[in-house]
């Protein structure tokens, strides 16, 4: 779990380490326009990162830690099929004011690319996704990624994540 900062230290969002070699998954809107990508690890260390790839239509970005930071603890993508009603947790660093937060909720629906078509593009949840949580993981109770936070609805208590299937396909292209 990491915090992504733009130049000047402004917290832009969160992310997940998806490879022990320092590959980090976050949202495209989190790193958009950043000249310098500064990351802060959960253990207090910090480093810079370089952009690897962006998928703007899916709001996904991959960054890689610069330099040798050793082997990092990577999150895995969940291998099980998620269902409506499954319990999930969201981890993030809301606006940089809190060290980390964890909110719990349930999967309430799956939605397609245009939020009406078939396919599991978005996972809808009632878990709180706060500013600064963008790009962070939505985890199963097994501790593996089921989605990447991306949108908070104007409706109270509704938020969305990019499905594991879409995020994992994107990551696998660049691992």
Domain boundary assignment for the chain: 2-74, 87-173
2-74 adopts what CATH topology?
Thrombin, subunit H (2.40.10)
**What span, in angstroms and rounded, lies between the C-alpha atoms of 47 and 65?**
7
Exactly one of 14, 19, 134, 140 is catalytic; name it.
134
- As a whole number, mean pLDDT of residues 72-90 equals 93
Confidence of residue 175 (pLDDT cuts 50, 70, 90): confident
97: pLDDT strictly greater than 90: no
**What span, in angstroms and rounded, lies between the C-alpha atoms of 62 and 55?**
9
Phi, psi torsion values for 56, nearest 5 degrees: -65, -30
Instruction: Give the tens place of pLDDT for each residue, 112-158.
Output: 655 444 445 889 999 988 777 889 999 999 999 999 998 766 667 78
87-173 adopts what CATH topology?
Thrombin, subunit H (2.40.10)
At residue 98, the pLDDT reads 60
Contacts of 111 (CB under 8 A, 6+ apart): 121, 122, 123, 124, 160
At residue 117, the pLDDT reads 44
- As a whole number, mean pLDDT of residues 79-95 equals 88
- Name the more confident of 120 and 171: 171
Exactly one of 29, 78, 86, 163 is catalytic; name it.
29
Exactly one of 59, 78, 86, 140 is catalytic; name it.
59
Q: DSSP secondary structure string, 72-96?
A: --PPPBP-SPP-TT-EEEEEE-GGG
Confidence of residue 40 (pLDDT cuts 50, 70, 90): confident
To the query of whether residue 29 is one of the catalytic residues in this protein, the response is: yes
To the query of whether residue 16 is one of the catalytic residues in this protein, the response is: no
To the query of whether residue 55 is one of the catalytic residues in this protein, the response is: no
Which among 169, 163, 26 is positioned nearest to 81, based on CA atoms?
163
At residue 5, the pLDDT reads 65
Whether 2-74 and 87-173 share one fold: the answer is yes
């Amino acid at each position: 779990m990491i915090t992504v900062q733009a130049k000047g230290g402004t917290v832009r969002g969160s992310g997940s380490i998806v490879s022990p070699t320092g590959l980090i998954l976050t949202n495209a809107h989190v790193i958009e326009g950043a000249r310098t990508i500064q990351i802060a690890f959960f253990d207090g260390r910090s480093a810079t990162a370089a952009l690897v790839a962006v998928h703007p239509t899916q709001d996904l970005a991959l960054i890689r830690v610069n330099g040798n930071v050793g082997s990092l603890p990577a999150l895995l993508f969940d291998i099980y099929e998620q269902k409506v009603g499954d319990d999930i947790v969201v981890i993030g660093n809301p606006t940089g004011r809190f060290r980390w937060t964890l909110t719990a909720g349930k999967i309430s629906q799956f939605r397609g690319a245009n939020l009406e078509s078939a396919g599991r593009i978005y996972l809808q949840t009632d878990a709180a996704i706060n500013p600064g949580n963008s790009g962070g993981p939505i985890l199963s109770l097994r501790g593996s990624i089921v989605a990447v936070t991306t949108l908070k609805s104007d409706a109270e208590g509704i938020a969305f994540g990019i499905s594991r299937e879409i995020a994992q396909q994107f990551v696998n292209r660049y691992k």
